């Protein structure tokens, strides 16, 4: 347990930040899972509707420092690639 006042405050802050970060992590992960499920079933229309939501969740997670910028870019690219028509 923290002894000094500043350590107590730091503990309170870190607990709050952890809950916020976990919410953001869970939010983007659930959307990614939902997108993957739609991709596996081949529902392009639903995927198209979900893509902006996916982008928004990834951008918010990146802005908050929950995930790195390149990871968000990689996930967005993968989603867009899954949505685009296959070329030979």
For the chain, which domains are there? Answer: 7-81 (1.20.58.110)
Let me know if 28 is exposed, middle or buried by CB neighbors in 10 A (0-12, 13-18, 19+): buried
- The predicted pLDDT at position 85 comes to 75
User: What integer best gives the mean pLDDT of the chain?
Assistant: 92
The C-alpha torsion from 18 through 23 and 29 to 32, rounded to 10°, is -140
pLDDT of residue 83: 85
pTM of the model as a whole: 0.82
């Amino acid at each position: 347990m923290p002894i000094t006042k500043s350590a107590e405050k730091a503990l309170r802050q870190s607990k709050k930040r952890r809950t916020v970060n976990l919410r953001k992590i869970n939010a983007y992960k659930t959307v990614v899972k939902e997108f993957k499920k739609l991709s596996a079933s081949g529902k392009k229309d639903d995927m198209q509707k979900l893509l902006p939501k996916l982008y928004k969740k990834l951008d918010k997670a990146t802005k908050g420092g929950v995930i790195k910028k390149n990871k968000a870019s990689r996930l967005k690219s993968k989603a867009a690639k899954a949505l685009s028509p296959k070329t030979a």
